[in-house]
Structure 1
Amino acid sequence: MSQQDIETLSAPLTLPCGVILKNRLGKAPLTELLADARTNLPNERHFNVYRRWARGGYGLIVTGNVQVDRKAMEASRNVAIERQDEKDMELYIRYAKAAKENGARALAQLNHAGRQTPRAVNPRPKAPSDVKLSLKGIPPALVSTPIAMTTEEVQQVRDRFIAAAGFCQKAGFDGVQIHAAHGYLISQFLNPHVNVSRTDQYGGPLENRMQLLKEIVEGVRSLCGPGFIVSVKLNSSDFQKHGASEQDNILVLEMLEQSLCDFVEVSGGSYEAPALLGHVKKESTKKREAYFLDFASEARKTVKKMPLMITGGFRTRSVMAEAIRSGDADLIGLGRPVCLHPEIAVALLSNPYKTFTVPSPKIDWDQVRTETPMIGNGESLWYSAQIHRLADGMEPDEEMAPIYFTMVWAPRQLVYEPATFFPTNVVWALAWPVKKAHHVFRLTLAAGVVAAATATGILVSRNRA
């Protein structure tokens, strides 16, 4: 049976555009947080980690967030294609080349964060409507109120996605993935709970709400031609009351199939309802490992030809192979496992003499969340730190203390970044070249900045009084 499973997962897949993937395993997109926030360009650390993943034997590698607007970043240390300067092209060429080093097809994931743009990046982000995020444990005063986009601004964003895809094609990427999941901008347009007040062609009924995604996919296909992979990442559900339902998203899948999309990666949730982090309650889904396989099975009744990539929860080779054989999935996406085991595809496609299960991390995250509620999203950050280790030429560390990454690494990474806000941006501009400095120095520096900023604020307030 193991040999049959290996043969199933090793089988090539020909996409509708004619491009062939060498096997059915894909490295799913993961936010890297590796770019210099002053430039948002790919760098040596990106090349290092993608070369490592390329050696892992995947048929497909999808990058983390590549933003189409530096004012709408998911995180200020992500890559952004905004200027599209030819002088930067060499860096993107190396980025694509690193991911394709071992015969994988490489896609750049294009995104716009919309209302999920952090306040430090943009205090007044653009969104379909002025509906604020409602985040558990976060006071509303700390969440930005978005500005509803005009029709012209929506079309400018559409054109940014299309132009960015053309830029990626010139750099050597085999295709792009349009991020329409996890509560980011395109997902916000699809969500009737967020897209609530528009009266133009991008609001109201579902046919209008999915118009932006339709125009982007068809625009990329028109610009880049038939041999370029055009993929979409789509929620199975928003897992929210009044959000986009599974039936809504099956209709979106139908539209994408008609618009010549090459495959859809199925995911789910958003910042407000984080199914993407594995917080899925459906018992049948838990038993079958894959969080979104039930949705894929239902979607297959309507969407017959367009391949589906299912990401989230897969851990055993037999379950992955059965998902392919059943026809529910055409590709298996691996996310967190590749952070700890970057060559996991090689292992899955070898040694037919034993049942293979992806090794689990040594941290019991359910217990951590129960004992230390303040950890919050520390699990996600913990995996991001493993990517950073790979980028620096180190091996993953499965025994890293999770509390460190919530109380130390996360604030440093997500708050005290260059090009965010005064005065930390000034201090970081001076400290950034000290790349080998110990994290204690950086924390001390950050603490000093906070103290100075607080003191300055008090003095200013007194003077005004």
Structure 2
Amino acid sequence: MAQADIDALARPLTLPCGVVLKNRLAKAPMTESLADARTNHPNERVNHVYRRWAKGGLGLIVTGNIAIDRANMEAARNIAIEKQDEKYMAFYKEYAKAAKADGCVAVVQLSHAGRQTPRAVNTRPKAPSNVKLSMDGVPQFILSNPVAMTTADVHDVRDRFISASVFCQKAGFDGVQIHAAHGYLISQFLNPGVNVGRTDGYGGSLENRMRLLKEVVEGVREACGPRFVVSVKLNSSDFQKSGATEQDSIRVLEMLEASTCDFVEVSGGSYEAPAMVGIVRRESTRKREAYFLDFAAEARKTVKRMPLMITGGFRTRSAMADAIRAGEADIIGMARPLCLHPEFSTVLLSDPSPTLAFPVPKIDWHHLRATNPNVGNVESFWHTGQIQRMADGMDPDEEGKVVKPEFFAQVWAPRQMLWEPATTFPTNVVWALVWPVKPLHHLLQWFTVAAAVAGAGVFIASRVN
């Protein structure tokens, strides 16, 4: 049976645009915080990680989220592409070359964080409305206060997605993925609990709420041509009472299929309801390996031609192969396993063992839940730390021995939301110098905690005055 599973995953896939994936295994997008802290452009650290992933046997790479607006990024050290960035094209060509090594298809995920933009990046990010983010275990004063977008703002965002796609095509990437999931800006437009009070053509009915996504996808297709991969990351559900439902998402999928979208990566949740990291309530979802296969099976009743990529929760090769054979998934997305073993795709396609085990960190995350209710995001930060290690030429620390997970709970997460050392001189230089040096982690931890506490004190004092 192992060989049959290998054969199912090794089978090539031709996307609607004609681009061929050499197999069904994909690297799903993750936050990386690898960009140059001064310019938010890629560098050799980025190239090193992507070259390693591409040579690890993947058929498809979807990059970590790349912002279309530096003022509305998910993290201060992420990559951002803006209209005036043509002079940095050489950096992106090297990035594309690294991600396409060994015949891998490389697709750039483009995003706008909207109200999920951290305060360290922008205290007043743009969003469909002024409904503020709410996260368990995170004080409200740490989160940004969103500003409702005008219709002109919406059109500007649409045009930025399109121009960034053209930029990526010139750099040599095979396509783009429009991030419309996980509570990012386009997902916020789709969510009736966040997209409130709008009276223009982008609020109210589902047809209006999905208008921005439709205009972006069709605009990218028109600008980049029929052979360029245009994909979307979409929530199966927002997993919130006031959010977009599964039936809403199926209607969006129908629209995307009609708009000649090449594939949709199915995910779910947001910062407020993090289903994408496995925090789900439905019993049927818990019983199955992948978090969103139930939705995919339902969507297949109406979405027949457009390929679906399912990411999240796969832990055995047999489950992945079963999903392919059943037609529930056409592409299998992997994220965290590739943070621990970047060459794991090669193992999946060659190891004859019928009990092949997926890499999981040897860390007791349940213990951490007792001290940090937002442990789902702590896990994300810890896995980002493993990407950082690979960027510096090291292997992942799968047992958490070099840097304890508590570091990411107590230091990385707070500095990401409150005080980002990468953004200003001289702290960006200190962070860049200290991070790769293992013995200095504890010193940096206390330095960062002290600075974060001091920053919080100054902020609170200013509010009181």
TM range (shorter): over 0.9
Q: Which residue of 2 aligns with 1:29?
A: 29
Q: Deviations over 1:284-326 (max 9, x none)?
A: 2222200000000000000000000000000111110010000
CA distance in 1, matches of 2:460, 2:380: 35
- Residues 264 and 307, structure 2, Cα contact 8 Å, conserved in 1: yes
SS at match of 2:98: helix
Q: Percent identity?
A: 66
Q: Which residue of 1 aligns with 2:206?
A: 206
Q: Which structure 2 residues correspond to residues 27-426 of structure 1 after superposition, within 5 A?
A: 27-370=27-370, 373=373, 375=375, 377-400=377-400, 401-412=404-415, 415-418=418-421, 420=423, 425-426=424-425
Aligned residue-pair number? 459
- Shift in alpha-carbon separation, 1:14–1:450, aligned structure 2, 3 A: closer
- Structure 2 residue 15 is the aligned partner of structure 1 residue 12: no
> 1:405, CA displacement in angstroms?
1.9
CA distance in 1, matches of 2:416, 2:117: 15
- Residues 54 and 104, structure 1, Cα contact 8 Å, conserved in 2: yes
Structural RMSD (CA): 2.3
- Residues 375 and 403, structure 1, Cα contact 8 Å, conserved in 2: no
- Shift in alpha-carbon separation, 1:84–1:5, aligned structure 2, 3 A: farther
Which stretches of structure 1, 4 residues or longer, exceed 6 Å deviation after superposition?
Answer: 454-462
- Residues 38 and 418, structure 1, Cα contact 8 Å, conserved in 2: no
Unaligned stretches of 5+ residues in structure 1: none
**What amino acid maps onto 1:130 in structure 2?**
N
> 1:413, CA displacement in angstroms?
5.2
> 1:207, CA displacement in angstroms?
0.4
> 1:432, CA displacement in angstroms?
5.5
Q: Which moved more, 1:396-405 or 1:170-179?
A: 396-405
- Shift in alpha-carbon separation, 1:41–1:347, aligned structure 2, 3 A: same
SS at match of 2:64: strand
Q: Deviations over 1:208-256 (max 9, x none)?
A: 1000000000000000000000000000000000210000000000000
- Residues 422 and 431, structure 2, Cα contact 8 Å, conserved in 1: no
- Shift in alpha-carbon separation, 1:360–1:26, aligned structure 2, 3 A: same
- Residues 277 and 376, structure 2, Cα contact 8 Å, conserved in 1: no
CA distance in 2, matches of 1:140, 1:456: 16
TM-score, structure 1 length as denominator?
0.93
Q: Deviations over 1:38-97 (max 9, x none)?
A: 210001110111011011101000100100000100011100001443320011011111
SS at match of 2:248: helix
SS at match of 2:109: strand
- Residues 70 and 80, structure 1, Cα contact 8 Å, conserved in 2: yes
SS at match of 2:71: coil
CA distance in 2, matches of 1:454, 1:183: 26
Unaligned stretches of 5+ residues in structure 2: none
**What amino acid maps onto 2:411 in structure 1?**
V
> 1:144, CA displacement in angstroms?
2.5
**What amino acid maps onto 2:245 in structure 1?**
S
SS at match of 1:355: coil
TM-score, structure 2 length as denominator?
0.93
- Shift in alpha-carbon separation, 1:342–1:204, aligned structure 2, 3 A: same
CA distance in 2, matches of 1:123, 1:371: 28
- Shift in alpha-carbon separation, 1:459–1:380, aligned structure 2, 3 A: closer
- Residues 37 and 417, structure 1, Cα contact 8 Å, conserved in 2: no
